[in-house]
């Protein structure tokens, strides 16, 4: 959905030879990705609000009513996920403004352009993220 559009609009960043990590061009590239994704998510949320207001039909048949309520619940759950993603996008834009974007929150190493292309809101390098997931699995057992 929004992520498919995102990758079509923004080709992967190819750094120039000798370009510093998180140069102005790279930061502008990721800022563009984040702002576009945020705008698309906000438009989806707005569309959902209008759709829910327009489809406020009360069905006499209990099965139809249950189906409508199920659809609304699913839609609201999706919008809640998108709301959380918008919060992460805002935090990532804040890290760009603070000069901290692209570096792992845990160990401070470079997250890497390819990882950021795949997940522009990433805050951990792949090694720290792997360790975090292993800890989560151990606690869940």
pLDDT, tens digit (0-9, with 9 covering 90-100), for 64-81: 778 888 888 888 898 899
Mean pLDDT of 78-93: 94
Please report the pLDDT score of residue 44 as a whole number: 87
Query: How many C-beta atoms lie closer than 10 Å to residue 31's C-beta?
Result: 16
- The answer, yes or no, to whether residue 120 has pLDDT greater than 60, is yes
C-alpha dist (Å) from residue 125 to 25, 38, 62, 112, 129: 21, 23, 50, 8, 6
Q: How confident is the model at residue 7 (pLDDT cuts 50, 70, 90)?
A: low
Please report the pLDDT score of residue 5 as a whole number: 45
- The answer, yes or no, to whether residue 53 has pLDDT greater than 80, is no
Mean pLDDT of 30-45: 93
- The answer, yes or no, to whether residue 4 has pLDDT greater than 50, is no
CA–CA dist 64, 60 (Å, integer)? 8
128 has binding-site annotation: yes
88 has binding-site annotation: no
CATH for the 2-140 domain, from 1.20.1740.10, 3.10.290.10, 1.20.120.910, 3.90.320.10: 1.20.120.910
Length of the chain: 141
Q: How confident is the model at residue 51 (pLDDT cuts 50, 70, 90)?
A: confident
107 has binding-site annotation: yes
């Amino acid at each position: 959905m929004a992520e498919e559009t995102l990758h079509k609009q923004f080709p992967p960043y190819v750094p120039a030879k000798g370009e510093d990590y998180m140069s102005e061009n790279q930061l502008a590239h990721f800022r563009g990705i984040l702002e576009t994704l945020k705008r698309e998510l906000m438009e989806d949320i707005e569309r959902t609000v209008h759709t829910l207001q327009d489809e406020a039909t009360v069905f006499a048949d209990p099965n139809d009513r249950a189906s409508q309520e199920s659809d609304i619940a699913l839609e609201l759950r999706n919008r809640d996920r998108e709301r959380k993603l918008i919060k992460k996008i805002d935090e990532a834009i804040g890290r760009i403004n603070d000069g901290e974007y692209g570096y792992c929150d845990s160990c401070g190493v470079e997250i890497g352009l390819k990882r950021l292309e795949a997940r522009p809101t990433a805050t951990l390098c792949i090694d720290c993220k792997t360790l975090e997931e292993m800890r989560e699995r151990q606690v869940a057992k």
